[in-house]
Amino acid sequence: MGVATVRARRRGRRYDKERGCYVYDVAFKTVAPLTERTVKVAEAFGLGVDEEQTHVLYDDFELHLTDGDVVYITGDSGSGKSVLLDAIRRDLGDEAACMDRLPEPGDEPIIDTVGDSFKEALGILSRVGLNDAYLFLRRYHELSEGQRYRYRLAQLLDSGKNRWLCDEFLSTLDRTTAKVVAYNIQKQARKTGATLIAATTHGDLARDLAPSIHVVKGWGKEINTEYSRGAAAPRCTVTDDVAVEEASKEDYQRLSYLHYRGGRVTTPLKYYRMTRLGELVAVIVYSSPPAQVGGRKEAVGYAPTLTELNRDWALISRVIVHPKYRGVGLGSRLIAETLPLQGRSHVELVAVMAQYNPFAERAGMTLIKIKEPHPTVTEAVERLRRLGFNPALMGSLRRNEATLDALPGREKVYEALMAVAPGPYLRRLTRLKKMYVTRRMLRDWLPEQDDTSLARALKTLGVLAQTKAYLHWSSERCPT
């Protein structure tokens, strides 16, 4: 028996000036192929198997779409959500960026794939919750499924388009991650003025998307559309169930592997944790402050004594939020809720990321200054660069040891380190238990070190060479 299949599709869209909206008509016309079994179906049920069948999905369907809308299209699989989204995509043309059609980056680290500069790239990735030092260095294929969604959101932000289309929106993610990403994408869309149109079978994202238009597609021509004011979601729903309480070192250690500086914390004072339904979400560590830090005098107008520092001051030395929960303000909330609890009247934070992500400022801390590295530290790094060290990679002990091994001697390395100013900088380099380390002490210390110890000192120098933000909080300015 011969086989013949004919399919015809009709899709229409028009702008109705009188109603002030787009009107969609979408239908499929199909003819079943003639096969032995389709003929038997026709015989059994009295069908004209070779007759054209019309399947109407949208008949005079109105969509009042304006700039900045968040459109949430839901319905069962096969009900026609993707058909409507595809019709909208064709209408918008080059104005739209489709999340599922974005180019997959190659083998380069994601920090190299968005933004026109390092600072812009950090800002974009931080806005979508990819704000971890190690994540910046990962390649796209090394990311988890949830992180890939966040990365594609970063691509939307970087695309320059003001129409964002997402089919099968968050359908493969666990529902907690889906709600976090949904909240994040609507926040970024509203912040940039983009129109977001998302289609999915999942109906549990309404509170996190806070759509201005919610289209519920049923079978056949069944459809319901609800319009609202379109106000942004006040918070992500996963934050409704979080609790903050004092914690232990063990709680911190459970998440410490997620921090780029590792698990060791100097002179901790207090630990706090954030949990959600029994799951550890985030931790914060308050420590004793260093004797000297740039920005402190500018914050309070004087140099506190050691007695005052030990009695009245604390330093936030770690804030770690589980990757699944990043991008919904939990880091800021953890800081804000624990600042009044930690028992000191002054709290300071020195952080690289605070330059690009104002999480601490949102918590009530004040940005005092951006701290450039000390000139002698910069000079030491430049000397080491001329010896073959890559300043950007001095955070790697293995690379430092390899570079040391390639040198004919250590004298030039000693000379470079000797350029660093005496005092706290040398104390950090040497880890000597002294309040003040002189160059003479360093000169005696250096020849006793093996390559592993020297590599560690060079890593510390790399940390000292970072540009960081200094922030301050005072209980006197904290509202009661």
Residue-by-residue DSSP string for 7-21: EEEEEEEEEETTTTE
**Cα distance between the two ends of the chain:** 85
Strands of 96-98's sheet in order across: 96-98, 163-166, 195-200, 70-75, 213-217, 223-227
Q: State the chain's mean pLDDT as an integer.
A: 85
Span 452-470, average pLDDT: 91
Among 305-319, 358-372, 439-453, the minimum mean pLDDT is found in: 439-453
- Selected residue with higher pLDDT from 70 and 44: 70
The pLDDT of residue 56 is 46
pLDDT higher than threshold 80 for residue 32: no
Span 140-167, average pLDDT: 92
The pLDDT of residue 63 is 76
Cβ neighbours of residue 452 closer than 8 Å, sequence gap 6 or more: 397, 401
CATH topology classification for 65-234? Rossmann fold (3.40.50)
Round to whole Å and give the CA distance between 394 and 217.
56
Residue 258, φ and ψ in degrees, nearest 5: -85, -10
- Selected residue with higher pLDDT from 58 and 136: 136
Among 89-93, 192-196, 437-441, the minimum mean pLDDT is found in: 89-93
The pLDDT of residue 260 is 76
3-state secondary structure of 336: helix
**CB–CB of 371/468 below 8 Å?**
yes
Round to whole Å and give the CA distance between 336 and 309.
21
pLDDT higher than threshold 50 for residue 118: yes
pLDDT higher than threshold 60 for residue 18: no
Among 82-86, 289-293, 405-409, the minimum mean pLDDT is found in: 82-86
pLDDT higher than threshold 50 for residue 8: no
**One-letter amino acid identity for 135?**
L
Domain boundaries, the chain: 1-64, 65-234, 239-345, 375-464
pLDDT higher than threshold 90 for residue 71: yes
Kindly state which CATH superfamily the domain 239-345 is placed in.
Gcn5-related N-acetyltransferase (GNAT) (3.40.630.30)
| Nearest in space to 237 (alpha carbons), one of 168, 178, 315 | 178
- Selected residue with higher pLDDT from 24 and 292: 292
**One-letter amino acid identity for 96?**
A
Span 91-116, average pLDDT: 89
Round to whole Å and give the CA distance between 196 and 71.
6
DSSP string computed for 247-281: --HHHHHHHGGGSTT-S--SSEEEEEEEEETTEEE
The pLDDT of residue 28 is 47
Cβ neighbours of residue 398 closer than 8 Å, sequence gap 6 or more: none
Burial string for 390-399 (b: 16+ CB within 10 Å, else e) reads eeeebbbeeb
Torsion over CA: 131, 136, 138, 141 (sign): positive
Q: How confident is the model at residue 135 (pLDDT cuts 50, 70, 90)?
A: confident
- Selected residue with higher pLDDT from 403 and 48: 403
3-state secondary structure of 313: strand
3-state secondary structure of 349: strand
